[in-house]
């Protein structure tokens, strides 16, 4: 009996023969200690480097959060209010990434699949969605998987949560594999 042909690895699948990248820059940003604020020099430097082409970000301010969005890049930052802090005291709490080529822990929205996510990070802490809502997986904290442990030292990984949203509303629909729509990296402070 002939053996089945070998399948090529998924474009984002973890492989033992590929060196892990340095500390994920998105994770480092969210886990910064002290946390980033909209006025901190580290935030200003990040915006100048990553969002240089964004002439006018969308900024929405609420009592409990401020959202800074670069729509063209598909990146949104959520700054949460500091409990008991000044009215404008907000710290970076989450980054929502929805466009390639931006990768989080080696996963690229629009390219990575649910199988890639589990291959890299292991089984999630929880799953949700379905029906009227897109499906998602959550890792709290981000400590499992070869890639996560290789690019996130334990002190950083223990501070972070990761939610991966897919472009599907059912978990198993035959040959259709859900593709990553949005990756949200957030702090567990």
pLDDT tens-digit profile, the chain (189 residues): 443 333 333 333 333 333 334 457 888 888 888 889 999 999 999 999 889 998 899 999 998 999 999 999 999 999 999 888 777 789 999 999 998 878 888 888 999 998 888 888 888 889 999 889 999 999 887 654 444 554 566 666 677 888 999 999 887 776 677 899 999 999 886
pTM of the model: 0.79
| Cβ–Cβ under 8 Å, residues 189 and 35 | yes
* CB-count exposure of residue 76 (10 Å: 0-12, 13-18, 19+): buried
- How far apart CA 119 and CA 124 sit, in angstroms, is 11
Q: What is the pLDDT of residue 146?
A: 44
């Amino acid at each position: 009996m002939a053996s089945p042909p070998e399948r090529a690895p998924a474009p984002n699948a973890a492989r033992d023969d590929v060196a892990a990248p340095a500390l994920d820059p998105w994770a480092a940003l969210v886990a910064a200690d002290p946390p980033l604020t909209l006025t901190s020099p580290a935030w200003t430097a990040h915006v100048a480097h990553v969002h240089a082409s964004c002439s006018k970000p969308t900024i929405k301010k609420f009592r409990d959060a401020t959202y800074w969005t670069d729509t063209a890049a598909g990146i949104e930052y959520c700054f949460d209010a500091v409990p008991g802090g000044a009215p404008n005291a907000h710290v970076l709490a989450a980054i929502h990434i929805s466009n390639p080529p931006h990768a989080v822990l080696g996963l690229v929205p629009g390219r990575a699949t649910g199988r890639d996510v589990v291959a890299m990070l292991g089984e999630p802490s929880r799953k949700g969605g379905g029906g009227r809502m897109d499906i998602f997986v959550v890792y709290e904290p981000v400590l499992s998987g070869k890639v996560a442990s290789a690019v996130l030292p334990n002190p950083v990984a223990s501070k972070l949560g990761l939610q991966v949203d897919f472009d599907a509303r059912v978990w198993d629909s035959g040959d259709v594999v859900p593709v990553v729509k949005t990756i949200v990296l957030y702090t567990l402070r």
